[in-house]
Amino acid sequence: MLEIRNLHVELEEGGKPILKGLDLTVEAGRVHAIMGPNGSGKSTLSYVLAGREGYVVTQGSARLDGEDILAMEPEERAAAGLFLAFQYPVEIPGVGNMTFLRTALNAQRKARGEEEISSGDFLRLVREKARALNIDAEMLKRPINVGFSGGEKKRNEILQMAVLEPRMCILDETDSGLDVDAMRLVADGVNALRDAGRAFLVITHYQRLLDHIVPDVVHIMADGRIVRSGGPDLALEVETNGYAGILGAGAAA
């Protein structure tokens, strides 16, 4: 589903290289996790895939179902089925959660040549998904993420994912700032979405999220590259030995 080949990315300002020849293939129906020390380029990867400004791709490619996503606008990537759950969801005063979700869903449908969803169907859809994530109606009425706790913001990301039903979901440090209960809710939300036609890329610093969202493949990222790949056991190895133990003292510094 997602194929990244020899991706090189540097910061637009200053030209500092961040990704240095990253290769990654995520197949439909699978959950891949990327772990790595701070500064290894994990978040940059998620932002570049979603189309955030401020990065320059100097080499390589990223394709979603064979389509070059790096040439697309962020909204086109979303319509193509890519979704990024943000590490820091943005607060937007004055724009209601529901208005936003509905505008986003209808824009994606329009871009794919589908009919807009009716108000009634939309309300039912959101209520059903929100209930599963323990998000109450009051939260949905408020402006996007304004006054939300850390856990509420992350649950709101998963709600958006559940409503928009993307095929390629990237979760950037979704566990950061979550207590155990909130993490379980978020993980249940993600697990409910797992199916044969959908793939996940779970980016995390710690192993604990992967107890709840069990990956098929674990990659270790360091200095802008994938340096090791393995099964779920690799995450446990990180937990036991630390990144330094896995990468060797030099690489982890």
Residues in contact with another protein by the rule CB under 8 A: 50-53, 73-75, 77-79, 83-84, 86, 89-90, 92-95, 99-101, 103-105, 107-108, 111, 143-144, 160, 164
Nearer to another protein, 78 or 139 (CB): 78
Nearer to another protein, 123 or 164 (CB): 164
148 within 8 A of 156, measured Cβ to Cβ: yes
CB of 108 to another protein, least distance (A): 4
CB of 55 to another protein, least distance (A): 12
Nearer to another protein, 26 or 78 (CB): 78
CB of 95 to another protein, least distance (A): 5
Query: Residue 100 is encoded by which pair of tokens?
Result: 């936003």
Strands 2-11 and 17-26: antiparallel
SS3 sequence, the chain?
Answer: CEEEEEEEEEECCCCCEEEEEEEEEECCCCEEEEECCCCCCHHHHHHHHHCCCCEEEEEEEEEECCEEHHHCCHHHHHHCCEEEECCCCCCEEEEEHHHHHHHHHHHHHHHCCCCCCCHHHHHHHHHHHHHHCCCCHHHHHCEECCCCCHHHHHHHHHHHHHHHCCCEEEEECCCCCCCHHHHHHHHHHHHHHCCCCCEEEEEECCCCHHHHCCCCEEEEEECCEEEEEECCHHHHHHHHHHHHHHHCHHHHC
CB of 181 to another protein, least distance (A): 26
Nearer to another protein, 109 or 208 (CB): 109
Nearer to another protein, 27 or 75 (CB): 75
CB of 35 to another protein, least distance (A): 23
CB of 150 to another protein, least distance (A): 16
Nearer to another protein, 139 or 144 (CB): 144
Nearer to another protein, 170 or 218 (CB): 170
CB of 178 to another protein, least distance (A): 20
Distance CA 115, CA 106 (A): 8
Amino acid at 84: L
